[in-house]
A and B are shown apart, each in its own frame.
Chain A
Amino acid sequence: MASSAEITSQEYISHHLTNAKMCMADGGVAFNKACTDAGFWTLHVDTLGWSIFLGMVFLYIFRSVAKKAETGVPGKLQCAIEMIVEFVDDSVKSSFHGKNPVIAPLALTIFVWVFLMNAMDWVPVDLIPTLAGLVGIHYIKSVPTTDINMTLALALGVFWLIIYYSIKVKGIGGFIKELSVQPFGHWTLYPVNFVLEVVTLLARPLSLALRLFGNLYAGELIFILIATMGVWQIFGPHFLWAAFHLLVIPLQAFIFMTLTIVYLSLAHEDH
Chain B
Amino acid sequence: MRALHQLVVHSHDRKRGDTFLMPWDKIALALAGALATGVLMTGAAQAQTDASVLAGTCANCHGTDGNSPGAIPSIAGLPFEYILEQLLAFKADEVPGTTIMGRIAKGYSDEELEALALHFSEIEE
Q: Do A and B actually bind?
A: no
A residues touching B (Cβ–Cβ < 8 Å)? none
Q: Which residues of B contact A (CB under 8 A)?
A: none
